[in-house]
Structure 1
């Protein structure tokens, strides 16, 4: 357990290397900074670094107890820990100095401070040795991460640590002297403390520090020839998602993945996916996973890619291992078998453990110690079962939701199911409120934008939550959900802090009430513009989409306003990248090239020069249209009325949107000459391959890039300026329920600025024939297409024009 001189490299950070001789000398030097008398405990409050290692072992050299503290802790948390266990000394760094000093000011006892960045001592050349330690003595006190809100000091003996070391070195040869282990997770937690520092250094391995958890730093660190990665499920999930996304973009890669999946051979997979292996440094022997249960599909995918994942189960109170997977015996879904020296069983569904790995107790918490340690058995709070001596985790006892009808629900199962249904949800947390399931969702707006999704909330509501609810029993349905602007609260090992989920909305409201309003001019002007646009109160912390509900047109308006008034040009995607209004205002302040206040002039925008080659109709265009009309009249009972209301062009056809075939339902009633003069538009994501592009080019279809709505609007304006007609669905998307949705004002802007009439079109019956989510239309359904009297734009604003068109369509639909 203690350090020995293996005459080789011990620590690496980028191009810095420290061998075991220097490591031991540095530890000895650090120990001279500690008092010789009356030393019982020493805290370490710093980020991962070489000096963290020196400080840790120097405390053991003094036969004192180490108390690691999360370097991202608040002053309140640090002072709580220091007041609780009262260490005589604290190591800290420049990075934690401010918090440390604030915490110390709240202490009830004196404490000596040592700044790791200010230590200036010569490296000791004395042949240092570690004193003999009594196995029953306390080695470390680890404060739990507090997923339940109440951190406790877990006292671990030297024997607790030793049994964990022996389990993966002498009992099962996981760690060897030639191994290089990546130090990625924060060392204040027992899992990385043991897995990435104490165990590898005890056998003469090399530990390699990643400068941060950024993907670039991780990939660069892996190139040092890392053989063992220690990670948590969320880390492995994120890496796997990135790899799968790349594989799914290539037909050949997808085929190879399926072949490797069926072959189920690590050797075969490592050859097939050699490029993936090389990106991980090409030397990976094991990926060790702990901290929470790993989804079995994630485990399977890594095996298919040629990586062996050794999943373990444990807790801080067991230093940390209770079970772990033996090399060559991976079973996805299982966290392995117990250590040789401990007993594991299941009592009333709860996993309990007894053996040398069980903690001494919670520091100064005899009642809480008694609650978890009963008759020598440690009650883990985890639910699961044993099969053939393998443990399978099914959930946390405290996290299981119990409804008033007695039904038990594991929220993680629901979260995994919902998240698997879409890439647009980054995180989801499910909790119970008023005997119903609620969810808080942190969306991926960049992904949504890439997929052409304008209204993220509506998409999640209907395409994810509604579909999920239809597939499960009633008590598992999610009845309410809300979108949040920040990632879900997690511990430093990325465990979800479930106890905070119900409070997220309240916390958000409190932040609004207590926020200080910025006074700089750019913020004031931006706030006034947004208040005018959305007719609502604007707060500095408001998210452009979640709080203000800016749609694509709103963002185009905002982009035009910023360019006209500040000389700052931002794309729609860049606008969404700002977390809130004040951050956008700060960017404007820093990058503006001018400052003026002008109203948005769409007329001027539509006059900007635009190169647009209009698609020309093939001779087959009307043949296909007329053939479709015959087919639709047979398949459906389709009828068109009001064709006499169509004026001379140019004009805008504005139908409500009930089904995927609505454009065709309108088109088949247009006369051949009029059809040639009428243009449709399609989203770029629907016209990807060369055949569809050719079809669009020969059938009056203009392909629009919805990530650049300004240019799309300019294209539509150009069509109208050339005397042609266009069809625009003002709702922007198909109805989810059969009811007419709110009209967007894009068509009204075009009509008002170019002075072209709008023909409202009321489509009824199409939703019944082909509701959203179905793939095959129902025959014999009655469908009516009514062309209403044109509406002229004179004497109308954008909004009044939008509203009158929507009201005319609604009136006609209500007659049916």
Structure 2
């Protein structure tokens, strides 16, 4: 695993240089510092330095397994790894020794500790060979612990075969590395990407590696220049930072800007290297290849480096693939794609997920057979990443499966897609999208230099109205950002630059971002409005808040607020007009100018629901009720289908309230009802689902009330009340949308308001098994799945509050689903 390259330079570190023979001597010396059995685990806990490399190869010389650990890990994280891998020896540096002492105390690990600083400068006799033993291909070479997003870290066991396959791929099949390559060691070596790309592969081939003393730009540039580096391996954020510095200078000169445009059009590497020779000399004059990995490379960043005359190669992979799955071939660059399948590797897309198979795939997770079985299925590695492959075999990554946000209405949102769009704004330096309180929210790190160019407005105001508001206008309703948080801190990312979405909510809660130092707004109308909204939404309200973007007011909230404003101030403020105000402060000022009275009171839903509404109920086709009856027989043939309790449906008006498990639920409920009951029962549907004339025609003849919650919220709810007032029955799903996990969701209180104010009973309905039969995303229902429908005894409002009615109905259904009798 090490080339016998004699006096050829192996490692440079600042002004220090080592030949291969000197490197072999160092490895031999480090191997003599400790005694371990073949196959034992040896931890390396240190920042990048030459002795890190000596320690690593000494482990292989002893026939042991190297376990690199992030030098920035906490004591608790290190303690977990020590307890899990049970090392026989530990290397650390003076910079990590304090953390290690705490970690060994926590874990009870008593392995001998060797301080790299004590031995790094030791004089050693040069040797002609490293003397590494002959390892078997399937022997474990290294265990790398992945941080993951949930749960404890998992130790990825990579074999020598996994490593050799990757080496051959980029040296023989795709000749990026050569014996005369000079590679910059920049990223921390405990990650598999830089471990192979900047250490193992170059030293295997007899190339030279140059270690940058730090991530400071001065050290990086000096290392590039002094060592004439030919290959730079970095993460997208590094390239974005470098590119910004270059583009800023180009944009300062009209001539440079023109030449850059010409170079983009010509697409000639020779022309670009000539015109932008100053840039190339800045990087040492020998830099040919930029390799990006660890996260997706921004398309504009890649294109700009290509325009400057550099070869930009992007790869995709993960620790479990040692690490490469796809890679860009020189001359076949498609910016935006991490390339084509690696030699000897197969990839395919299963249900949108990228899966890979080949000799580069890990042995498994150390001591975690269950976790291994979750990602390795029939030899295929299920990456958890979403993507597609074009007709030419180029892979495109579209997101992370676990990071897909599933909204309460069942819609899927890819946060990366929204983040990429927001990051096109010059005012945003970084951002992250997360989901909380049934809202899509964004945490934003603004670009202060850009904001400073707009005097008289604060950051949040600019971001909200110059970025988020236009963004919300052009995206689908379910993708709207409902609240923003502004921070001056870097967002949580992995060492390779991936945004850690799971930490965003914690960051917001910890810092109370954007709720600090809000100006006092001394306004009597605002005081009443804020008090009402705080009670309704159960959260703090500030003058700068927008009713929708910050408070996430839904349809029912807006109707209630509209009624409260009418009762308290004597004004009529339609929901459409409500959305025009930039903040509650502006709304309060408008109310102050237009109010006819100021008498605080509660929302009177009785008056709202009893307002006269001219609603003609749709006529009923007899064929409609016949179709419901027929569907019952189909269900009995296809499923193990049962029902009971239909006699609990009273005569006269009532609300039938089922839990919601599948797209068949309406049919499941109606199909077991009696013919007379079916004809008296009405469904409600959102207008956006019935825009076609044919669908509207069917709705008008099949007991379907179409409501438009976006145009007239108040009238929509009044229409539902009118159905009940005309002595009919109404089916309402209190959850509002199908369950995503089989569990009962939150019950919205619209049905409870209707029941209380119109004094009509509610019939709770239990639907059980439909989720397993037809979960969201499945095209065809499972044959012979057990599905049951049970109508429970009616619940009467009896003076209960809206919340109490909703809770009682939910409790009755929950108890039945869990096998208990309802109260």
TM-score (normalised: structure 1): 0.62
How far is the alpha carbon of 1:352 from its aligned partner? 0.6
Matched with 2:251 is: 248
Q: 1:325 aligns to what?
A: 328
Structure 1 residues 547-569: Cα deviation after superposition (integer angstroms, max 9, x where no partner): 33699xxxxxxxxxxxxxxxxxx
Query: Number of aligned pairs?
Result: 525
**2:418 corresponds to 1:414:** yes
Whether 1:401 aligns to 2:370 is no
Mapped partners of 1:550, 1:28: distance in 2: 67
Aligned-pair CA distance for 1:330: 0.4
CA distance in 2, matches of 1:280, 1:95: 30
Distance 1:476 1:249 in 2: 37
| Structure 1 equivalent of residue 463 of structure 2 | 460
Q: Any residues of structure 2 matched to 1:329-340 within 5 Å, and which?
A: 329-340=332-343
- Structure 1: tracts of 5 or more residues without a match: 510-542, 552-734, 744-816
- Closer, same or farther: CA 14–550 of 1 in aligned 2, 3 Å: farther
Equivalent residue number for residue 634 of structure 2? none
Q: Assess if the C-alpha contact under 8 Å between 1:146 and 1:491 holds in 2.
A: no
**Partner residue in 1 for 2:81:** 81
1:13 aligned residue: 13
2:272–2:308 contact (8 Å) kept in structure 1:
yes
TM-superposed CA distance for 1:501, in Å, is 1.0
Report 1:35-74 matches (<5 A): 35-37=35-37, 40-74=40-74
Q: 1:645 — aligned with what?
A: none
Residues 491 and 497 of structure 1 are in contact (CA less than 8 Å); yes or no, is this contact kept in structure 2?
A: yes
- Tell me, in whole angstroms, the C-alpha distance in 1 between the residues paired with 2:288 and 2:149: 32
Q: 1:28·1:124 contact (CA, 8 Å) conserved in 2?
A: no
Q: 1:418 to 1:142 in 2, by over 3 A?
A: same
Matches of 1:49 and 1:225 in 2, distance apart?
20
How is 1:201-220 mapped onto 2 (pairs within 5 angstroms)? 201-220=203-222
Change (3 A) 1:192 1:742: farther
Write the distance in 2 (CA, Å) between the matches of 1:486 and 1:257. 34
- In structure 1, how many angstroms separate the alpha carbons of the residues matched to 2:92 and 2:109? 18
CA deviation map 1:657-711 (0-9, x unaligned): xxxxxxxxxxxxxxxxxxxxxxxxxxxxxxxxxxxxxxxxxxxxxxxxxxxxxxx
In 2, the alpha carbon distance for the partners of 1:401 and 1:447 equals 31
Contact 1:230–1:289, Cα closer than 8 Å, also in 2:
yes
Paired position in structure 1 for 2:289: 286
Alpha-carbon contact 2:75-2:102 (below 8 Å) kept = yes
- Determine helix, strand or coil for the equivalent of 1:117: helix
Give the Cα separation in 2 of the matches to 1:740 and 1:252: 48
RMSD: 2.3
The partner residue of 2:131 within 129, 132, 135 is 129
- Alignment match of 1:229 (pick from 216, 228, 232): 232
Tell me if the contact between 1:5 and 1:24 (Cα under 8 Å) persists in the aligned partners. Answer: no
Partner in structure 2 of residue 558 of structure 1: none
| Structure 1 segment 69-468 matched on structure 2, within 5 A | 69-119=69-119, 121-125=122-126, 127=128, 128-148=130-150, 150-223=152-225, 224-387=227-390, 388-422=392-426, 424-449=427-452, 452=455, 454-468=457-471
C-alpha separation in 2, matches of 1:23 and 1:453: 61
CA 1:256 to 1:44, structure 2 compared with 1: closer, same or farther past 3 Å?
Answer: same
TM-superposed deviation, 1:137: 0.1
- SS across alignment from 2:106: coil
Cα deviations by residue, 1:317-374 (Å, 9 ceiling, x for unpaired) = 0100011001111011111111221111111111111110000000111000000000
Cα distance in 1 between the residues matched to 2:293 and 2:326: 10
* 8 Å contact from structure 1 (residues 49, 209) kept in 2: yes
Q: Quick one: distance in 2 between partners of 1:546 and 1:53?
A: 48
C-alpha change, 1:439 and 1:217, in structure 2 (3 Å) is: same
Q: 1:395, CA displacement in angstroms?
A: 1.0
The range that moved more, 361-370 or 242-251, is 242-251
Asked if structure 2 preserves the Cα contact closer than 8 Å seen for 1:167 and 1:339, the reply is: yes
Give 1:464 shift.
1.0
What is the distance in 2 between the residues matched to 1:339 and 1:186? 24
Q: Which residue of 2 aligns with 1:536?
A: none
- Aligned partner of 2:517 in structure 1 is 548
The secondary structure found in structure 1 opposite 2:488 is coil
CA contact (8 A) 1:147 1:491 kept: no
Change (3 A) 1:195 1:126: closer
Q: How far apart, CA to CA, are the structure 2 residues paired with 1:36 and 1:409? A: 51
The equivalent of 1:481 in structure 2 is: 484
CA contact (8 A) 2:440 2:483 kept: yes
Query: Helix, strand or coil: the match of 1:292?
Result: coil
Query: What residue number does 1:640 align with?
Result: none
User: Per-residue deviation at 1:67?
Assistant: 0.2
- In structure 2, the CA distance between the partners of 1:125 and 1:15, relative to structure 1 (3 Å rule), is closer
Instruction: State how far apart, in whole Å, the 1-side matches of 2:140 and 2:38 are.
Output: 16
Cα displacement string for residues 421-473 of structure 1 (whole angstroms, at most 9, x for unaligned residues) = 12x32210001123321011122334433554651111111111112112222
> In structure 1, what is the Cα distance between the partners aligned to 2:93 and 2:519?
43
Q: 1:358-394 CA deviation, whole Å, 9 max, x = no partner?
A: 0000011100000000011000111111121221111
Identify if the C-alpha distance between structure 1 residues 451 and 116 changes in structure 2 by more than 3 Å, giving closer, same or farther: farther
Superposition deviation, residue 301 in structure 1: 1.3
Q: Equivalents in 1 of 2:3, 2:453: separation in Å? A: 52
2:38–2:63 CA contact under 8 A, matched in 1: no
**Residues 598-637 of structure 1 correspond to what in structure 2 (within 5 A)?**
none
- Contact (CA 8 Å) 1:147, 1:495: kept in 2 or not? no
Q: 1:154 to 1:256 in 2, by over 3 A?
A: same
Residue pair 2:37, 2:62 contacting (<8 A) in 1 also: no
Q: Structure 1 residue 4: deviation in Å?
A: 2.1
Determine helix, strand or coil for the equivalent of 1:2.
coil
Kindly provide the CA deviation profile for residues 79-103 of structure 1, in whole angstroms up to 9, marking residues without a partner as x. 1101000111110001111101111
User: How far, CA to CA, are the matches of 1:26 and 1:347 in structure 2?
Assistant: 48
CA distance in 1, matches of 2:480, 2:584: 22
In structure 2, runs of 5+ residues without a counterpart are: 521-580, 590-823
Distance in 1 (alpha carbons) for counterparts of 2:106 and 2:458: 48
- Provide the C-alpha distance between the structure 1 equivalents of 2:19 and 2:588, rounded to a whole number of angstroms: 68
State the 1:205 CA deviation: 0.9
Q: Is the 8 A contact 2:37 2:63 kept in 1?
A: no
Quote how far apart the aligned CAs of 1:737 are.
8.3
**Aligned twin of 2:598:** none
CA contact (8 A) 2:321 2:361 kept: yes
Which has the larger displacement, 157-166 or 239-248?
239-248
Aligned to 1:159, what secondary structure does the other structure show? helix
Is the 1:29–1:122 contact (alpha carbons within 8 Å) kept by the matching residues of 2?
no
Range with bigger deviation, 473-482 or 35-44: 35-44
